[in-house]
Amino acid sequence: MNETFARIARLTALAAISGRENACFAQLREQTEGLFDEYITTPTGSFAGIIRCGKADAPLLLLDAHIDEIGFVVTEICDGGFLRAAAVGGIDTRVLSASEVTVYGKEAIRGVFTSKPPHLQEAGESRKKIELRDLYIDTGYDKEALSKLVTIGDAVGFYAPAQLLANGLVTSKAFDDRICAYAILRAVEAVDRSRLTTDICVLLSGGEEIGYVGARTAAFALCPDVAIALDVTNAYMPDGPRHKKDVRLGSGPVISYSATTSRAFTQTIVDTAKAQGVPYSVAGEPGATGTNAHVLQITRGGVPTALVSIPLRYMHTCAEVISADDAENTAALLRAFMENFPAAYAEKEAAIC
């Protein structure tokens, strides 16, 4: 667990606000040194590594997890060392008051969103919705010093180093979707390459939080034959929606059936989980899944795509919570699938078509 936690912590610590993912490319290269035969980066913020199986005309299996995270962009430098910021991606403003952040200017500086104490609030003010336009980031600098470090357009991210909770749970920022990136990298490290009959491309895509930009463009360039998108999914919590009652931390990956994913390909992943004894659950979704699976499956002439998710609590906050066991079980599922692809998928496709 110590090694798993340390590696998860390194991934979540990366600074990769949507649209500014290239800031973490050098660190990603360092963390994946020697893992891939080829490395690729794209102008739209995606980082990819390819493993060649050594067989002529081998198909390409794409494993995607988005590397970008929600955050903010500086819009104004104000008197007294304060900054105004706009949201990048979906931000729940209720969690912002007094949240700690990092401003990625000429150097990384710490700040905290302003918070009006209850002693100073006017009658009824506590019941009003917090709006980002009413908040500032307090850096402690004066305006002149701050202006030398920060410029309009600089990125801002939550400051929330990974912390261990009880029973193998971990909390941090950016588990959406770094925990899936961890699972993929863990799987390709463990895979028996002598059993591979397909090339493997790991796509750590950018821009998912602002419209699937990285997956849409990188998949077009990479030309995969099949793809698995990995993302997080909302897990059970008290007073949560009833349809999430079976999606629990520690229950393993969630495999989705939807109108925008390949049923044959998905069924093969389910069969792999059963054969390997990997705990999992299934989910039914009527249409677009809100993940990169939506754009991967319409790349070029169409790509058979499946969606595998890791349960997560408190999505799009600075205190997302996952189970390390779910990440390891997802990695085990991916490893087994890679070692048995494409024969198992071809048989399933033939049986269903």
Tokens of 87: 């949201």
Place of tokens 């600074």: 15
Task: Answer yes or no: are the C-beta atoms of 170 and 5 closer than 8 Å.
Answer: yes
CA distance 56 to 48: 21
**DSSP classification of residue 299:** S
Q: What values do phi and psi take at 314, rounded to 5?
A: 65, 45
| Cβ neighbours for 298, distance < 8 A, ≥ 6 positions apart | none
Residue in 21, 69, 208, 209 annotated catalytic: 208
Coil, helix or strand for 135? coil
Angle at 159 (CA atoms; ends 311, 131), nearest 5 degrees: 85
**Active site includes 208?**
yes
The count of other CB atoms within 10 Å of the CB of residue 23 is: 15
The count of other CB atoms within 10 Å of the CB of residue 140 is: 13
Coil, helix or strand for 126? helix
- Active-site residue list: 208
